Amino acid sequence: MPHHILIAYASRYGTTAEIAQSIAATLRDEGALVDVRSITESIDLSPYTAAILGSAIYRGQWPAEIVAYVTQHQQALAQIPVGLFTVGLMMRKPSEDARYKAQAAMAPVRSLIKEVDVASFAGCCRNLPQPWKALFSLLGAGGDYRDWDAIKRWARGYAQKLPHALDQAA
């Protein structure tokens, strides 16, 4: 029986939503049933055997809506394996400092779930409103830095880890 995976994301400008869709496509290629939903929707977790939660980093942290969602659904999420991904422009030039900041942004939710895998991806400035778009352009960060191959590799790795994580959860 294929895994039924929820990918829930917080996305203000569309970049994280596009990454969520790419992860979903890769997981479907691996044989999973996948639903992709905005964290702002009402989501019943009962049909899912696993979940992936993702968000961009805003001012160094995950937005309140995704932290609130995880807190509100902590009991259900604690019963299934969860992957996390975060999106931030600091990952356009990966360094230990950038990875640390990306991991720190997810800290409020990491202790509340059964974490299977975590990833940090570079983002995109394409859909940002002014003046943010102009500011990032001035800082030399005005492009699309998403590494679609890395995103697909992570999704395949998550799919490979999932059977063991589900055995542990049972």
Task: Kindly tell me if the per-residue pLDDT of 94 is higher than 90.
Answer: no
Reference 123, options 94, 103, 96; nearest CA is: 94
Write the CATH number of the domain with boundaries 4-159: 3.40.50.360
With pLDDT > 90 as the criterion, what percentage of the chain qualifies?
Answer: 43
Summarised one tens digit per residue, pLDDT across range 24-79 is: 999 999 999 999 999 999 899 999 999 999 998 877 788 889 899 999 999 999 89
Task: Kindly tell me if the per-residue pLDDT of 11 is higher than 80.
Answer: yes
Residue ranges of alpha helices (H) inside the chain are 15-29, 64-72, 74-77, 96-110, 132-138, 148-169
Summarised one tens digit per residue, pLDDT across range 103-137 is: 888 888 888 887 889 888 887 766 655 665 555 55
